[in-house]
Copies of this chain bind each other. A is one copy, B any other.
Amino acid sequence: MKKISIALIGIGKIARDQHLPAIAADPRFELVACASRNATVEGVRNYPTLDALLEAEPGIEAVSLSAPPLPRFDQARLALSAGKHVMLEKPPGACLSEVGALDEMARAAGLTLFTSWHSRHALGVEAARTWLATQDIRHVHVRWKEDVRRWHPGQAWIWEPGGLGVFDPGINALSIVTRILPREVALASSTLKVPANKHMPIAADLELRDTAGVRVQVEFDWRHGPQELWEIEVRTADGTLLLSQGGNRLTIDEREVALGAVHEYPSLYSHWHDLIRRSERDVDARPLTLVADAFLLGKRETVEAFVE
């Protein structure tokens, strides 16, 4: 079968660490071109902007967007208008209405739009979902804590409106929660801890409930270290499930569950390939919905100024 010719937009850390190796390892894609203001990728044609790329490369079928969230909406509009299939790095936009608008554009044009959530492709997530599907769930506790200095050095945009603050990692946890729980969840209350000198929170406590009333308690904190804590604990009538290491380790009642070996980004690209071949969209904005809700309902507390 003919390869799908793609372009990658935004050549930063996540593009080099994850997107480029995943694309290179998948024989069903051919990376033809990249666009980035400052960076170039060897072995492909490089352009300073998506505009210039689309103009010069009419044969490209699909565009993967891995720039920060703020410019993503304009890039995705441009790509869809040019008739390209689109994959969005997480979060799929700076805000939720962007996702709805893009989904409607893609639907009307018959194009594939994929709002990717890499953490959902962590090794333990599908196994956790399968086990939980038949469980009587009693309580869920999400602890997602890391040192912002280690994981986001010098990323000033992350503290600005649109940058999400501690929800930038936290949304990974929410993408797993909305995948593994058998019932829908809604936000009940939210507390945002905002440094005196920043717009976005450095920590947040959320309370969610599922449609049966089960409590989901969420703690996000960027003031944690040195070891990160990325785990979700689900207590059920039959035992306790623990998804840790960002979703890549799974235990049930402290017994290790054996997992597969297809890692996050290769799995994302494989799924995007299937979506394009089947002319389907996969647009799930629920993780970002919970974040927007956390700001809407959020009680703001001012905490100590953050100086990197």
Contacts and interface: CB of A to CB of B under 8 A. Distances in A.
A42 to B, nearest CB: 35
A100 to B, nearest CB: 6
* This chain's copy number in the assembly: 2
A161 interface: yes
A48 interface: no
A102 B210 CA distance: 10
Contacts of A95: 186-187, 293, 296-297
Contacts of A73: 186
A90 to B, nearest CB: 15
Best-surrounded residue of A97, A98, A100, A189 (most CB of chain B within 10 A):
A97
Interface in A156-202: 161-162, 183-187, 189-190, 199
Contacts of A289: 96-97, 100, 292
A123 interface: no
A184 B73 CA distance: 13
Interface in A37-82: 73, 77
Contact of A101 (B97, B161, B184, B299): B184
Contacts of A162: 296-297
Best-surrounded residue of A73, A102, A296, A298 (most CB of chain B within 10 A):
A296
A97 B286 contact: yes
A203 interface: no
Contacts of A290: 97
B298 A97 contact: no
A105 interface: yes
A87 interface: no
A253 interface: no
Interface string A88-99: 000001111110
Interface of A: 73, 77, 93-98, 100-102, 104-105, 161-162, 183-187, 189-190, 199, 208, 210-211, 213, 286, 289-293, 295-300
Given A77-B213, A95-B297, A289-B292, 16 more contacts: A93-B186, A95-B293, A96-B96, A96-B289, A96-B292, A97-B208, A97-B286, A97-B289, A98-B187, A100-B186, A101-B186, A104-B184, A161-B189, A162-B297, A295-B295, A295-B298
Give 5 nearest A-B pairs by CB, closest first: A95-B293, A292-B292, A101-B184, A97-B186, A295-B295
